[in-house]
């Protein structure tokens, strides 16, 4: 399979298997994202960034928040709500950056033999070293350590709950896959059996995979929250059911949920509680969503599930929902200063692309439409974090409700999947609200 990577129209960006819902996180305090270079044993060769809020208890909780393929810790910090929630609730956030190349760029290792057993090496050991650093340096509470992530990070979330059940107390996996879904590196997306729609094992087989990763472990297992969009084509929606089967089997629970509800429009929730009434597994099916999670409000529900923001979550409809734009925003009175990064990952007759838009002006952009013209016969087939329409070779990408505002010197990203034949040549010009971008 032939793969090429093209970077045009600006500095190199990142290809996200999923960026999750892009929300420009602007912590209100003086706290800042900081890189840590010597955090301990690091067989995965990973980078570590940490966000420590100014206001926190003596022994704060710790959340490990992991990006999608091709992303980075700082990128996930900027594109998710976890840092602003840390300011509000006083917990520490670790943002790791994966360094191992896979089908969509640098991804967290959930495929190697070393990564699939406790203490085996690779990324899991590096991640635990980061947790240990946060505990030593900032008094992080070892009884309140949690994992979350989007796409590759969601996969690693379920992976860490398996390999280190005594370290993590709960996890929230956005668009992930069950532990041991990937047989090896060759099985990782875009090819392979796990994500090609044919994966189907019994709950017992899935549960056995978890138990075999740490033989002899008899302690408590971390609670699991699972999120998936019903229209996800990159990581098929059916894998949500496989994850449910895995974790309910681990907990010895029935496949039938103890309760179901719709806490928000298009959020279908299933809960699986034990005999004491404790919800051990919670699954959200997001109707109509593609490979675009977490979107606005979902991080807050995850933090509540962890117990870092009060009791068990009961996410209700916002009293004043932000309307989704239905038409192209009115261009600003003066030209918009902007920069666009376009990075494509191409194979055979298909490709995925991440586009990053940076506001280089001195005023905020409130509502945006990015337009370009294909030089070839490319055809968009799906998108996330933007509404993308195409007429002939003219393409328009319009913001969704949670990333409509881009403040000065900040960026937002979206992605799409497309087909082509012949040569996949990138666009040479982009316009943002009618103004040409650099």
- What Cα–Cα distance (Å) separates residue 235 from each residue in 28, 197, 280, 378? 35, 9, 24, 22
Domains 31-306 and 338-436 share a fold: no
How is the chain split into domains, by residue range?
31-306, 338-436
Q: Tell which CATH classification among 3.40.50.1820, 1.10.600.10, 2.40.10.120, 3.40.50.2000 matches the domain 31-306.
A: 3.40.50.1820
| Dist. CA 374–CA 394, nearest whole Å | 7
Q: What is the pTM of this model?
A: 0.69
Peptide bond just before 190 cis, omega within 30 deg: yes
Give which of 151, 131, 146, 128 is closest to 63, Cα–Cα: 146
Q: Could you tell me which CATH number the domain at 338-436 has?
A: 2.60.40.290
- Geometric angle at alpha carbon 139, from 138 and 144, rounded to 5°: 115
Residue 94: CA count within 13 A, CB half-sphere: 30
What residues contact 61, with CB distance under 8 A and at least 6 apart? 90, 91, 92, 140, 141, 144, 145, 146, 306, 308
| Cβ contact 75:19 at 8 Å | yes
| Cβ contact 288:264 at 8 Å | no
Indicate which residues carry an active-site annotation.
151
| Cβ contact 189:196 at 8 Å | no
Q: Please provide the DSSP assignment of 168-215 as one string.
A: -SEEEEES---TT---SGGGSTTSSSTTTT-----HHHHHHHHHHHST
Q: What is the pLDDT along the chain (438 residues), one digit of tens a residue?
A: 444 443 333 323 333 444 433 333 344 445 899 999 999 999 999 999 999 999 999 999 999 999 998 889 999 998 899 999 999 999 999 999 999 887 678 899 999 999 999 989 999 999 999 999 999 999 999 999 999 999 999 999 999 999 999 999 999 999 999 999 998 888 887 778 888 878 899 999 999 999 999 999 999 999 999 999 999 988 999 999 999 999 999 999 999 999 999 999 999 999 999 999 999 999 999 999 999 899 989 999 999 999 998 533 345 444 433 343 333 443 333 345 898 988 887 777 777 788 888 988 888 888 888 998 888 889 887 776 778 888 778 888 888 766 778 888 888 888 787 888 888 889 988 989 888 887
| Dist. CA 277–CA 297, nearest whole Å | 25
Backbone φ and ψ for 17, nearest 5 degrees, come out as -60, -35
Backbone φ and ψ for 204, nearest 5 degrees, come out as -65, -40
| Dist. CA 433–CA 38, nearest whole Å | 44
């Amino acid at each position: 399979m032939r793969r090429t990577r093209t970077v045009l129209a600006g500095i190199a960006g990142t290809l996200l298997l999923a960026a999750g819902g892009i929300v420009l996180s602007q912590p209100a305090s003086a706290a800042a994202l900081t890189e840590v270079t010597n955090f301990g044993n690091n067989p995965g060769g990973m980078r570590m960034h940490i966000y420590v809020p100014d206001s926190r208890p003596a022994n704060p909780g710790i959340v490990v928040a992991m990006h999608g393929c091709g992303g980075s810790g700082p990128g996930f910090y900027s594109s998710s709500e976890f840092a602003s929630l840390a300011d509000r609730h006083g917990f520490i956030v670790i943002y790791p950056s994966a360094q191992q190349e896979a089908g969509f760029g640098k991804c967290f290792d959930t495929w190697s033999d070393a990564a699939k057993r406790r203490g085996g090496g690779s990324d899991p050991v590096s991640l635990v070293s980061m947790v240990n650093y946060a505990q030593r340096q900032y008094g992080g509470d070892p009884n309140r350590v949690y994992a979350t992530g989007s796409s590759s990070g969601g996969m690693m979330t379920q992976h860490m709950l398996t390999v280190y059940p005594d370290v993590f107390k709960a996890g929230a996996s956005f668009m992930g896959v069950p532990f041991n879904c990937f047989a090896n590196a060759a099985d990782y997306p875009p090819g392979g059996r796990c994500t090609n729609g044919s994966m189907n094992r019994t709950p017992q087989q899935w549960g056995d995979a978890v138990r075999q990763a740490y033989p002899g472990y008899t302690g408590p297992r971390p609670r699991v929250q699972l999120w998936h969009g019903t229209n996800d084509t990159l990581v098929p929606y059916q894998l949500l059911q496989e994850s449910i089967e895995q974790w309910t089997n681990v907990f010895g629970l029935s496949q039938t949920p103890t309760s179901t509800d719709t806490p928000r429009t298009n959020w279908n929730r299933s809960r699986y509680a034990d005999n004491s009434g404790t919800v051990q597994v919670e699954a959200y099916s997001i109707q109509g969503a593609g490979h675009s999670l977490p979107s606005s409000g979902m991080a807050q529900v995850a933090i509540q599930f962890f117990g870092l923001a009060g009791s068990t979550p009961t996410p209700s409809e916002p009293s004043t929902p932000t309307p989704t734009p239905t038409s192209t925003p009115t261009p600003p009175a003066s030209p918009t200063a902007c920069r666009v990064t376009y990075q494509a990952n191409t194979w055979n007759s298909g490709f995925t692309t991440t586009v990053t838009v940076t506001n280089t002006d001195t005023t905020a952009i409130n509502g945006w439409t990015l337009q370009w013209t294909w030089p070839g016969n490319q055809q968009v087939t799906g998108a996330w974090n933007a509404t993308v329409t195409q007429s002939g070779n003219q393409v328009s990408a319009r913001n969704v409700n949670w990333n409509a505002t881009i403040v000065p010197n900040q960026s937002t990203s979206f992605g799409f999947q497309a087909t082509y034949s012949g040569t996949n040549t990138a666009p040479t010009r982009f316009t943002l609200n009618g103004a040409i971008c650099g």
